[in-house]
Structure 1
């Protein structure tokens, strides 16, 4: 408590000093604040024009996105306030650091991450490996030989032949497997995880994919997938939730709208950035593109351009802090929902300035999410309305309504006892709590 009180006082002192620096600069302080906010808004408008348009407007958007920050800095230099701005920013950074440190509580932090239970080694583990996943990580880290040395049976698949991974997993269970594991992408992980959950078998994640989001949120080492095999001899077990979208399992996310449409493009795998830039104007059309209507439990989310439904919510205090884009727990029994609706440049600027408080952003949790298409969406000859959906990064087309649900504690995940990627999320900033801590007087 004493340490927290010191950090809280430091946070308030640094915040006050930052304000004092701006106030003592007289007109310069006002210039710093106003020009900084205007520069941020103009840059956001430029990014929106760059993404949503082609031709001259896209070029102008790029100029605004890059030129606005440069213009603000030039204004600071010409106005002779750049040093004041730098000092104020430094003090505010110190204030934020101290505030988060003051709010951290080791006793509470332990509840923010998943804790495993000791587990006996499996007798007949079967691991399904994709040798092409992650650019050939299976061969690069000698995963087959290492797994077999630990007593596992390895099934290598050739993705070019489009194997039925679910059938391979079911056959392994029929042959007596008492643990199923996957070295591959998150889409493959989800399919085998579904079979493991059906038979209440332990499931082993090997971080041999490209992004390894599921492995990251489990705290596994993504730089060396061979360390995941330690779970076969020195492991513990976690009970985590498993998502379902229209009967198909997912371990990470289901994306609708703009991102899902981009993923559908045939060139996406080979040129992600180029494909997105070429496709986004048709999807966004300056804010008038196709929309989706969603219902999260009883909350309506009309006209969404992008919708992300995740297996448990992400811990992201703001939209800019991408380092916090992870899920500290996968056993909370709730879907995370993020919906974005931007109707034009003004709303894009508001999103940049206000962040999670912007009217175009919805962040919530739910037990059930139902998504339907814009009424203008063409129907199939059979009368069905199909929409693009990205399930754990895999492109699908599903008939509406598309329903996402969660099965709490459905999956037993076997992990190594040492999980170096486990991250405790930072506590949300609460300045009232900071103030109360700073002036708290312990009872004698």
Structure 2
């Protein structure tokens, strides 16, 4: 059976995407004509009331918190009832399905249209012969033991350094010692915080770095397209690997691979009870932080742009996807050379409602990119969460990026790599659908 030409597949999917999007818009317009604009306005009002209730629930305690929870749930129930009574019980789900189909086809078109991965397989003669892997047996609920990572790594010729649970170990020093003893590759089976520390040593010595998805969330592994369900597959890179060059973040002289968080989240992570009871600790701390009693307002300078009075600020190693609703929480690329900046400033229930209705268009949310971010506060030092690890750093805190500083060795077969596509660009989709050559199009 002959394979379908990728350009033909891209063109077909782009046309399906435009047709589904147009159908979704038509369904919405018909709904407006049938049920009337008041139904839609009522739905938006219900969403705003739900956001007010959620704000009261998060920012208060006691009776106000209970009232907020009731208001949020009641508003959602009222919106559902309004849509059912207004005759939208059929058209609303159809519109959602059509729009989801349009997004899925658009993503498929971009995948089919993308250029082949420029990374070439590492020749067998250049594969690491003295790989050293640092493994944390406590990470990810015991994934190191559950997936037999030590035995598999040693069978492939790697040397494994197993951390001792409950005992603080300087993993950076372990990595430096391994390099001094002749390691030609460094790797980590553990959380992203540990990944960053060892990655910094690998970048310093221009050695390849191996990511093993044995942590809890494995954000870096996800964005590299690695298998997060079976971390043992990451070890395939030792015998059949592809080398990628990715950016490495720096915050106050410390490397980070994913994010640096300031404000509300960073303050919560600092609490000793957070590790054992994340949800309960957050609910207990949020009223003080959001009300301003314990939360420090932050000012930042992203290149030359001021971002002032933020309650929460997230700086990421390359920006997270914002234009593609199906790809929330992922970075389309790790070698873009720019930091992502996300700031939130919500001063009350009204702004919470505005944020819920307008989303990224709300002035409560700041989203931009920058090459240098300087975070300032009234205090001499502030809590900071670096790749989820709780730290306290002196102000001002400066975040920068080292473009393509890290050599990452990944398996040739990466089940998640297919999802690494450009952010959704409807102009590009229209160009593909009309079969017009794109000059300088992003891929």
> Is this a same-fold pair by TM over 0.5?
yes
Cα offset, 1:64, TM superposition = 1.2
Q: Which secondary structure state, in structure 2, belongs to the residue aligned with residue 21 of structure 1?
A: helix
2:91 maps to 1:87: yes
Contact kept? 1:315, 1:425, Cα under 8 Å: no
RMSD: 2.4
Cα offset, 1:8, TM superposition = 1.8
* Alignment partner of 1:146 out of 141, 152, 156: 152
Q: Which region of structure 1 is more displaced relative to structure 2, 279-288 or 332-341? A: 279-288
Cα offset, 1:31, TM superposition = 3.4
1:147-182 per-position Cα deviation (integer Å, ceiling 9, x unaligned): 000000111111422111111101100110000011
Structure-2 residue corresponding to 1:45: 52
1:345-386 per-position Cα deviation (integer Å, ceiling 9, x unaligned): 11100100011110011111100000011x3x4xxxxxxx01
Q: Which secondary structure state, in structure 1, belongs to the residue aligned with residue 166 of structure 2?
A: helix
Structure-2 residue corresponding to 1:416: 411
2:434 maps to 1:428: no
Structure 1 Cα separation of the partners of residues 146 and 108 of structure 2: 40
Change (3 A) 1:323 1:12: closer
Contact kept? 2:16, 2:105, Cα under 8 Å: no
Structure-1 residue corresponding to 2:4: none
Cα offset, 1:11, TM superposition = 2.5
Cα offset, 1:322, TM superposition = 7.5
Change (3 A) 1:38 1:287: farther
2:99 maps to 1:70: no
Structure 1 Cα separation of the partners of residues 28 and 422 of structure 2: 23
Contact kept? 1:12, 1:435, Cα under 8 Å: no
Structure 2 Cα separation of the partners of residues 361 and 115 of structure 1: 36
Q: Which region of structure 1 is more displaced relative to structure 2, 243-252 or 322-331? A: 322-331
Contact kept? 1:100, 1:426, Cα under 8 Å: no
Matches for 1:293-442 after TM superposition, within 5 Å: 293-317=299-323, 321=325, 323-373=327-377, 375=378, 377=379, 385-422=380-417, 423-425=419-421, 427-428=423-424, 430=426
Contact kept? 2:13, 2:108, Cα under 8 Å: no
* Alignment partner of 1:249 out of 255, 260, 275: 255
Structure 2 Cα separation of the partners of residues 45 and 34 of structure 1: 17
Kindly tell me the number of residue pairs found equivalent between the two proteins. Answer: 423
Change (3 A) 1:327 1:47: same
Contact kept? 2:52, 2:68, Cα under 8 Å: yes
Structure 1 Cα separation of the partners of residues 71 and 293 of structure 2: 19
Matches for 1:78-227 after TM superposition, within 5 Å: 80-81=85-86, 83-95=87-99, 97-98=101-102, 101-102=105-106, 105-106=109-110, 109-110=113-114, 115-119=118-122, 120-227=126-233
Q: Which region of structure 1 is more displaced relative to structure 2, 146-155 or 100-109? A: 100-109
Change (3 A) 1:175 1:243: same
Structure 1 Cα separation of the partners of residues 350 and 51 of structure 2: 9
TM-score (norm 2): 0.89
Structure-2 residue corresponding to 1:60: 67
TM-score (norm 1): 0.89
Change (3 A) 1:60 1:170: same
Structure 2 Cα separation of the partners of residues 63 and 14 of structure 1: 32
Q: Which region of structure 1 is more displaced relative to structure 2, 206-215 or 9-18? A: 9-18
Q: Which secondary structure state, in structure 2, belongs to the residue aligned with residue 215 of structure 1?
A: helix
Matches for 1:232-243 after TM superposition, within 5 Å: 232-243=238-249
Structure 2 Cα separation of the partners of residues 32 and 403 of structure 1: 48
Contact kept? 1:218, 1:421, Cα under 8 Å: yes
Contact kept? 1:214, 1:252, Cα under 8 Å: yes
Q: Which region of structure 1 is more displaced relative to structure 2, 421-430 or 10-19? A: 421-430
Structure 1 Cα separation of the partners of residues 141 and 31 of structure 2: 51
Structure 2 Cα separation of the partners of residues 269 and 3 of structure 1: 45
Structure-2 residue corresponding to 1:381: none
Runs of 4+ in 1 over 6 A off after TM superposition: 432-438
Structure-2 residue corresponding to 1:4: 14
Gap regions ≥5 residues in structure 2: 1-10, 438-443
Cα offset, 1:71, TM superposition = 1.5
1:66-95 per-position Cα deviation (integer Å, ceiling 9, x unaligned): 110111222344xx32x4243134125414
Structure 2 Cα separation of the partners of residues 70 and 107 of structure 1: 39
Cα offset, 1:258, TM superposition = 0.1
